[in-house]
Chain A
Amino acid sequence: MRTQHGSMSRSRLRLVVVQVMVLSLFATLLARLFYLQVVSGDTYRTAAAAQTLRQVVIPAPRGLIVDDQGRPLVANRSAWVISVDRTLLDKMTAQQQKTVLTRVAGVVGQTYAQVVGRTRLCTDPNANQTTCWSGPSVQPIPIASDVSAGVATEILERNEDFPSILAQTQSVRAYPSPYGVNAALVLGYLSQITQGELANAEKANDKSLTAASLVGRSGLEQQYDQYLRGLPGYEQVAVNFAGQVLGQGQNISPTPGDTLVTSLDARVQAIAEEELARSMAAARKTFDKVTGRNYAADSGAVVVMDAHNGRIVAMASAPTYDPNVWVGGISQKNLDKLYAPKANDPLLSRATQGQYAPGSTFKPELTVGALNHGLTTNTLFDCAPYLSVGGHIFKNFESESFGPITFQKALQVSCDTFFYQVGLHFYNKYGSNPANVKAYDPLVNIAKSFGYGQPTGIDLPGEASGRIADRKWKFAYWQQMKGYYCKMARKGNAPNSFLAAFAPEFCSAGYLYNPGDAANFSIGQGDTLVTPLQLARAYAALANGGTLYEPRIGRAVVSPSGKVIKTFAPVVAGHIPSSKSVLNYVDQALRTTLQPGGTLAWKFGGFPLDKVQIRGKTGTAEVVGKQTTGWVATYTKDYVVVMMISQGGTGSGSSGDAVRAIWNALYGIDANNQVNTARAVIPGVLLPNSLPIFTGEGSVLPPVVPERRKS
């Protein structure tokens, strides 16, 4: 037997120590394993799912926009979209990326630089912020939408030549354009969601918006976006570290958007657009004696409104644009065209966003105010050729003269000198101190009651409010601008002679509301501005006995299965503070404008006024530095038709024929002036009371035709 020497026993002890230390290492590993897999397991499981499962958004088919008869104004169609899978692209070398992007650029007809610009993430410091991709990098980035099937086939068949490039079909907006309607400025358009909108949606936990969403940018598409957009679906796929798809996960189907039923009528809309375009073209061929050149007719609008409830039947604006240019993302070329100065702002809806001096179309409203505040139907003022107000000569239109007349006659012939005196009457009665901002003014008050100077509340975004140039406005404007004009007067550096004279006067006395201002206001001139829509609903109030409505285009939201989800009832915005007799008096007076001697009579010769009792008023507003703005505002008990052409000459001259044509269509009046309501473009003449019938299988039938109500 061997004896253990010293170093053997010592090493045995050391081994025990080593063993304890080593086993404690293993205990550490087990503890760490427990921590990773159990204590923080959820965190890592989430991280694992985030990188191995990719959610590909399946966009929801957007809801339709249909007219009163169920005719689609906006629908969908399939389009080929070419997109780049950024995660796959990033795995390639710079040279490979350049090769494939150059190749795909050639196929889709773009330059390499354009394709690169589109595929850059907006977070990339080198990104062009107008074309960059704001969505997540895992979502395929579209580089060309609505390409031909040939392009898509080429990419699909030569898959190996186009790594990371996808060709897929996508639902995009289509414009069936029944009867040739455009209505782009009412319908609106779509574009890619912005990062800000996406962040807001995420904050609000709004699942209907994703980075791939298209969002309504104007018009009904924007206003009713939440109903139209639907709920996107998701396709979950397992991907490997290189982003290649390994297998399918679960799918969540998208929920299609709901259909918006509008009160627009495609046939009336088409006629309104056609008539507006024809009238503007005619005006451009008409010589203007005042300026010595043809009328520019730069813009115009038509509003057809249901007088009973403020529903919009047609709303045309010019200039307009082709809504198809936005489908699949607008090209820079088309964008440049829309914003070119000579295009004259086709994205501005003149009907709701254009602001123009109302001119004489203001007189009926002011008459209501005057007759409710002391003046009577027997009040006479001299319709002289001109009137001197505060040292300035205020002329009548074409220096006409009718002698002492009543309000009825003054409206029929649109006598300016008559209304100057009405304006001065109240000016002298309540506010002869021009510096008194708070002076009582029944004419300003009645204009406000008719809804001027404030948005109408129509269901369209970006509506203009117009402007009532009263004392308060004048003072505020002076405060805002006096610095500019006083400086100009002091330095004597006015750019033209008009401003050279205007600047010192404005600087010293611009806040004063002079008799001239009151006179100008009384004929809708000066700084007062209205939108064609405001005018139409004011006339609707005259038509329906004094109720002011919020105009509405949307009538109802209907689910894809045909279930009515929401209806939009007419909303009363206010009542005209007037006695019935005064409203009735003005209403009857406005019939005489179409009768012999009236301003509209020469355009309504032979019209069956006994059967279709149209009331009307013309307006020809003078605009500093421009040609006159022409207005025709007409109504029956059923409808209001307002038409405006900027720089188009007199109202009756530029728009009279067009307005008559619209009335012919609405009531089925033929070329021989015979009324046959069976031929009216809207079956039953009136807007249908009921909604179109949705079968739930995708087809829409016209609503039941209501009984024609006596007008």
Chain B
Amino acid sequence: MTAIPSTRLGATRVPISRSRVRRQSVDVPLMLAVSAILVMGSVLVWAATKNNVGLNAGHPNSFFARQLVNIAIGVVLFVAVLATDYRWLRILAPVVYLGSILGLLLVMAIGSTVNGAKSWIHLAGMSIEPSEFVKLSIALASAVVIAERTEGRRRPPGTWEAVAIIALFGLPAAMIMLQPDLGSTLVLSAMVFGILAVAGLSWRWLVGLLASVCVVGTLVVSTHILKAYQVNRLLAFTNPSLDPQGAGYNTIQARIAVGNGGVFGQGLFQGAQTRAGFVPEQHTDFIFTVAGEEFGLIGAGILVLLFAIVVWRIVRIAVRSDDMFGRVAAAGIACWLAFEVFQNIGMCLGIMPVTGVPLPLVSYGGTAMFATMMGLGLVQNIHLRSHRLLR
């Protein structure tokens, strides 16, 4: 028998029960899963851009290199958030929120349009997509609201909290919807719904919210606020002929590339569809098709499972969090990542509409990488916090 380890927080070597013994450390499975996804993702970016001369302008490895830089910056941000004092996170939440609103305003003022959506700010040679940070800031802000209103009271959140969170979500969501970026709006909605559910809002509220979303959706379509072509774009994944040049083409090509992978895949850099560049936006939104074609069912399945591990660990951290702030924030981030992964991969597999949502940690691009890594830093911070205390 080895010596029973003790907590470092305990000043004296007090024998404690095994269940209480935890080393102060980040959640290792989560770290490993995220690292594996980052390695796989950067290779996928490489494979997607290596043969696309139109994109890489003759430098086959340029996107791979830039994505490695993005990951490096993401790791720095991750460490920064992880190292931030837990109490400061709550204090900084309003600043982060207001910062992301400011970013959205900047987009409206000086943003550039990419693929039909005005979502980007080009600044000093960098492209920033503020809506990615909005996801993180809403998770933080909602957590603060719930924590401030429920801690120390023996009552679940009620109307006041629900309205406050919906308001916090509604403003940026409306601005993102105007860009228009339907995908991000959907992810935000799913996240906020998850936050309200985890916060303990009553079932009546939750059912009412779902019902009103359905009513509003029906109204939007039936009153032609969305134009017929926009509806067709959304439905093209069920019937590609609704938008044969756009979303319909994308969804068909994505399915062909994935289906072409078979069980074992065509091998790294060997995917015929990927090499031939048939799938549009393959290094960003449709990056999963590279995994499908080159790594096959086994490789792409492992990627899905890695994301499942990530979400599972974050939910586990939320469950084990001792305070409402940590729990709600972690739960929000879990919902955000889970829905974004489902939305993105589902789109590549033809079971979700074609909307511009990146695959977290995998799609080429800086902003989404930074926001996700900061979110993961927050989650690990919460994890550290809950384990600093003895129960």
- Stretch from A26-34, A593-601, A669-677 contacting the other chain: A26-34
Residue from A12, A28, A34, A36 whose CB has the most chain B CB atoms within 10 Å: A36
| Smallest beta-carbon distance A597→chain B, Å | 87
A48:B304 contact, CB within 8 angstroms: no
A29:B346 contact, CB within 8 angstroms: yes
A51:B153 contact, CB within 8 angstroms: no
B300 interfacial contact with A, CB 8 Å: yes
Are A14 and B197 also in contact (CB < 8 A) when A26-B304, A52-B278 are? yes
B272:A36 contact, CB within 8 angstroms: no
* CB neighbors of A among B131-172 (8 A): 150, 152-157
A48:B257 contact, CB within 8 angstroms: yes
A18:B276 contact, CB within 8 angstroms: no
Give every chain B residue within 8 A of A44 (Cβ-Cβ).
Answer: 255-256, 258-260
* CB neighbors of B among A6-30 (8 A): 6-8, 10-12, 14-19, 22-23, 25-26, 28-30
Partner of B273, one of A19, A32, A37, A48: A48
B200:A7 contact, CB within 8 angstroms: yes
Give every chain B residue within 8 A of A38 (Cβ-Cβ).
Answer: 262-263, 297
| Smallest beta-carbon distance A519→chain B, Å | 75
A44 to B308, CA, bound (A): 27
A564 interfacial contact with B, CB 8 Å: no
A246 interfacial contact with B, CB 8 Å: yes
A29:B349 contact, CB within 8 angstroms: yes
A47 to B319, CA, bound (A): 46
Give every chain B residue within 8 A of A8 (Cβ-Cβ).
Answer: 324, 327
B275 interfacial contact with A, CB 8 Å: yes
A649 to B191, CA, bound (A): 103
A6:B331 contact, CB within 8 angstroms: no
A579 interfacial contact with B, CB 8 Å: no
A29 to B338, CA, bound (A): 12
Give every chain B residue within 8 A of A7 (Cβ-Cβ).
Answer: 150, 153-157, 199-200, 324
Partner of A11, one of B200, B256, B335: B200
Give every chain B residue within 8 A of A94 (Cβ-Cβ).
Answer: none
B194:A238 contact, CB within 8 angstroms: no
Are A22 and B297 also in contact (CB < 8 A) when A37-B261, A44-B255 are? no
Give every chain B residue within 8 A of A37 (Cβ-Cβ).
Answer: 258-259, 261-263, 292, 296-297, 300
B44 interfacial contact with A, CB 8 Å: no
A19 to B157, CA, bound (A): 21
Number of A-B contacts (CB under 8 A): 164
Give every chain B residue within 8 A of A5 (Cβ-Cβ).
Answer: 150, 152-154
B304:A30 contact, CB within 8 angstroms: yes
Partner of A25, one of B153, B197, B318, B342: B342
A241 interfacial contact with B, CB 8 Å: yes
A246:B275 contact, CB within 8 angstroms: yes
Are A33 and B292 also in contact (CB < 8 A) when A15-B315, A41-B259, A44-B255 are? yes
A22:B338 contact, CB within 8 angstroms: yes
The dominant DSSP class at the B interface is helix
Q: Which residue of B lies closest to A247 (CB)?
A: B275
A541 to B164, CA, bound (A): 112
Q: Which residue of B lies closest to A6 (CB)?
A: B154
B391 interfacial contact with A, CB 8 Å: yes
A709 interfacial contact with B, CB 8 Å: no
| Smallest beta-carbon distance A665→chain B, Å | 65
A1 interfacial contact with B, CB 8 Å: yes
* CB neighbors of B among A38-86 (8 A): 38, 40-41, 43-45, 47-49, 51-53
A127 interfacial contact with B, CB 8 Å: no
B304:A33 contact, CB within 8 angstroms: yes
Give every chain A residue within 8 A of B304 (Cβ-Cβ).
Answer: 26, 29-30, 33
Q: Which residue of A lies closest to B346 (CB)?
A: A29
Interface residues of A, CB < 8 Å — how many?
45
A36:B255 contact, CB within 8 angstroms: yes
Give every chain A residue within 8 A of B345 (Cβ-Cβ).
Answer: 29
B198 interfacial contact with A, CB 8 Å: yes
B308:A26 contact, CB within 8 angstroms: yes
Could you give, for residues 187-219 of chain B, a 1 whenever the CB lies within 8 Å of some chain A CB and a 0 otherwise? Answer: 000000010011110000000000000000000
| Smallest beta-carbon distance B281→chain A, Å | 13
B9 interfacial contact with A, CB 8 Å: no
B27 interfacial contact with A, CB 8 Å: no
A104 to B309, CA, bound (A): 60
Give every chain B residue within 8 A of A43 (Cβ-Cβ).
Answer: 259
Give every chain B residue within 8 A of A241 (Cβ-Cβ).
Answer: 276-278
A240 interfacial contact with B, CB 8 Å: yes
A15 to B316, CA, bound (A): 9
B301 interfacial contact with A, CB 8 Å: yes
Partner of A15, one of B157, B198, B263, B349: B198
| Smallest beta-carbon distance A198→chain B, Å | 26
B198:A18 contact, CB within 8 angstroms: yes
B312 interfacial contact with A, CB 8 Å: yes
A36:B278 contact, CB within 8 angstroms: no
Partner of B156, one of A10, A18, A45, A242: A10
Give every chain B residue within 8 A of A238 (Cβ-Cβ).
Answer: 272, 275-276
Give every chain B residue within 8 A of A33 (Cβ-Cβ).
Answer: 258, 292, 297, 300-301, 304, 349
Give every chain B residue within 8 A of A242 (Cβ-Cβ).
Answer: 277
Q: Which residue of A lies closest to B308 (CB)?
A: A26
| Smallest beta-carbon distance B32→chain A, Å | 18
A47 to B253, CA, bound (A): 9
Q: Which residue of B lies closest to A39 (CB)?
A: B259
Are A15 and B318 also in contact (CB < 8 A) when A23-B308, A29-B342, A33-B300 are? yes
A53 to B273, CA, bound (A): 10
| Smallest beta-carbon distance B229→chain A, Å | 23
A437 interfacial contact with B, CB 8 Å: no
A149 to B214, CA, bound (A): 70
Could you give, for residues 223-266 of chain A, a 1 whenever the CB lies within 8 Å of some chain B CB and a 0 otherwise? Answer: 00000000000000011111000100000000000000000000
Give every chain A residue within 8 A of B322 (Cβ-Cβ).
Answer: 2
A48 to B322, CA, bound (A): 52
B311 interfacial contact with A, CB 8 Å: yes
A149 to B52, CA, bound (A): 36
Give every chain A residue within 8 A of B45 (Cβ-Cβ).
Answer: none
Could you give, for residues 292-310 of chain B, a 1 whenever the CB lies within 8 Å of some chain A CB and a 0 otherwise? Answer: 1000110011001101100
Q: Which residue of B lies closest to A44 (CB)?
A: B259
Q: Which residue of B lies closest to A10 (CB)?
A: B200
A224 to B346, CA, bound (A): 58
B378 interfacial contact with A, CB 8 Å: no
B198:A40 contact, CB within 8 angstroms: no
Supply 5 further A-B pairs (C-beta < 8 A) apart from A15-B327, A38-B263. A7-B200, A23-B312, A37-B296, A38-B297, A41-B259
In the assembled complex, 15 residue pairs joining A and B whose CB atoms fall closer than 8 Å, in A order, are: A7-B199, A7-B200, A8-B324, A10-B200, A11-B324, A15-B327, A18-B197, A19-B315, A22-B311, A26-B307, A26-B341, A32-B351, A37-B297, A238-B275, A238-B276
**7 interchain residue pairs of minimum CB distance:** A44-B259, A48-B260, A10-B200, A240-B276, A22-B338, A26-B308, A25-B342
Listed in ascending order, the chain A residues whose CB lies under 8 Å from chain B are 1-2, 5-8, 10-12, 14-19, 22-23, 25-26, 28-30, 32-34, 36-38, 40-41, 43-45, 47-49, 51-53, 238-242, 246
